[in-house]
């Protein structure tokens, strides 16, 4: 689900950069950007799932993965 | 008036002793795009917005206070047992000398909350676009907060709050659509 919400871009890398360059930067485009007005009768999460995720509708759900590398990374 | 339910909107669990994270979380407590700003912005704008969308601002503004409580709970849990030495090690010595371990409406840089963080232009389209921007900025802040901790319990609560910002943004954009809708109507004079 996250795959199609992440956009990548490549910043300019200078030979004089002081730190190791990050070659690919990403940003999130959440699904709300493509919904003008929510249509009726969208499929729903189960109530248990919805209350944990923060939305009733899979079409509006946006997961987020920490950019922090796993320990030792 | 409000009816208060004595529980949080979403459970807040803190998995490890990390007062440093409290210092960052305070951004969403008393920062420009934080929950206090959000609640006061919407609950103030609602008086002068067209009737069709007053209810939306009322409901979302109320939910923002529920989010404020969640952030407060995280900050409180992270700092309530912190000694002066621990506060200092977390970079919270300036906060400590002014407030002890009390919470305060300030941003992560220690700047106190100010009403200049919120706007009320009186123009419904302008106000709603401000609200949409505020939600997306809060969503981004939650992303950067999630990046700043490896505590999966805090991350879990922050991910819920982030998702709510996305929903609120959509609702405000729907409100704009509602206010735009008259265009197709034929007017007879």
Q: Give the model's confidence band at A73: pLDDT under 50 very low, under 70 low, under 90 confident, else very high.
A: very low
Run of H or E including A8: strand A6-9
> By CB neighbour count within 10 A (0-12 exposed, 13-18 middle, 19+ buried), where does B164 fall?
buried
User: Hey, are the CB atoms on B164 and A63 less than 8 Å from each other?
Assistant: no
Q: What is the pLDDT of residues A22-65, one digit of tens each?
A: 999 999 999 999 998 999 999 999 999 999 999 999 999 999 99
B130 tagged catalytic: no
Q: Give the model's confidence band at A67: pLDDT under 50 very low, under 70 low, under 90 confident, else very high.
A: confident
Higher pLDDT residue, A69 or B36? B36
> Residue B88 and residue B74: Cα distance in Å, rounded?
19
B64 tagged catalytic: yes
In the A/B pair of chains, how many CB contacts fall below 8 A? Answer: 57
The pLDDT of residue B142 is above 50: yes
> Residue B147 and residue B29: Cα distance in Å, rounded?
18
Percent of chain B with pLDDT over 70: 97
B18 is annotated as contributing to ligand binding: no
User: Hey, are the CB atoms on B143 and A36 less than 8 Å from each other?
Assistant: no
Q: What is the pLDDT of residue B76?
A: 97
Q: What is the pLDDT of residue A18?
A: 85
The residues, ordered by sequence, that sit 6+ positions from B111 with a Cβ below 8 Å of its Cβ are none
> Residue B113 and residue B118: Cα distance in Å, rounded?
10
- Domain limits of chain B? 19-181
- Single pTM value for the model: 0.91
CA distance B56 to chain A (A): 14
> Residue B33 and residue B113: Cα distance in Å, rounded?
10
What mean pLDDT is reported for chain B?
96
CA distance B132 to chain A (A): 11
Residue numbers in A near B148 (CB within 8 A): 68
| Cα end-to-end distance, chain A, whole Å | 25
ipTM above 0.90, yes or no: no
Q: What is the pLDDT of residue A72?
A: 46
Helices (H), B80-92: 84-89
B35 is annotated as contributing to ligand binding: yes
Q: What is the pLDDT of residue B184?
A: 66
Q: What is the pLDDT of residue B60?
A: 98
What is the mean predicted confidence (pLDDT) over B24-51? 98
A35: nearest CB among B143, B150, B170:
B170
User: Hey, are the CB atoms on B166 and A32 less than 8 Å from each other?
Assistant: yes
User: Hey, are the CB atoms on B160 and A71 less than 8 Å from each other?
Assistant: no
Q: What is the pLDDT of residue A2?
A: 55
B135 tagged catalytic: yes
Q: What is the pLDDT of residue B50?
A: 96
Range name among B98-107, B153-162, B178-187 with the lowest pLDDT average: B178-187
B163: nearest CB among A35, A54, A67:
A54
C-alpha distance from residue B57 to each of B8, B98, B108, B132, B172 (Å):
20, 35, 27, 12, 8
CA nearest A56 in B: which residue? B167
The pLDDT of residue B185 is above 90: no
Structure tokens at A66: 């920490």
Which architecture characterizes domain B19-181 according to CATH? Up-down Bundle (1.20)
Q: What is the pLDDT of residues B60-112, one digit of tens each?
A: 999 999 999 999 999 999 999 999 999 999 999 999 999 999 999 999 999 99
Higher pLDDT residue, B117 or B182? B117
> By CB neighbour count within 10 A (0-12 exposed, 13-18 middle, 19+ buried), where does B39 fall?
buried
CA distance B170 to chain A (A): 5
CA distance A37 to chain B (A): 5
Do B71 and B29 form a contact (C-beta atoms < 8 A)? yes
The pLDDT of residue B159 is above 70: yes
B177 is annotated as contributing to ligand binding: no
B5 is annotated as contributing to ligand binding: no
């Amino acid at each position: 689900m996250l795959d199609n919400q992440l956009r990548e871009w490549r910043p300019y890398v200078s030979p004089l950069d002081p730190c190791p360059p990050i070659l690919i930067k990403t940003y999130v485009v959440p699904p709300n950007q493509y919904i003008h007005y929510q249509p009726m009768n969208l499929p729903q999460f189960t109530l248990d799932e919805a209350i944990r995720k923060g939305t009733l509708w899979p079409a509006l759900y946006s997961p987020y993965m920490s950019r922090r590398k796993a320990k030792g990374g | 008036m409000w009816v208060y339910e004595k529980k949080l909107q979403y459970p807040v669990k803190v998995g490890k002793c990390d007062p440093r994270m409290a210092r960052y979380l305070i951004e969403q407590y008393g920062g420009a795009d934080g929950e206090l700003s959000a609640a006061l912005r919407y609950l103030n704008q609602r008086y002068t917005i067209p009737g069709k969308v007053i209810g939306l601002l009322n409901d979302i503004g109320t939910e923002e206070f529920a989010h404020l409580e969640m952030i407060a709970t995280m900050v409180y849990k992270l700092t309530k047992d912190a000694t002066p030495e621990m506060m200092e090690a977390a970079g919270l010595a300036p906060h400590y000398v002014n407030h002890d371990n009390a919470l305060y409406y300030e941003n992560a840089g220690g700047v106190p909350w100010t009403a200049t963080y919120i706007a009320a232009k009186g123009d419904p389209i302008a106000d709603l676009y401000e609200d949409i921007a505020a939600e997306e900025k809060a969503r981004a802040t939650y992303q950067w907060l999630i990046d700043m901790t490896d505590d999966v319990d805090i991350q879990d609560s922050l991910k819920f709050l982030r998702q709510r910002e996305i929903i609120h943004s959509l609702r405000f954009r729907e409100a704009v659509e509602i206010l735009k809708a008259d265009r197709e109507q034929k007017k007879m004079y």
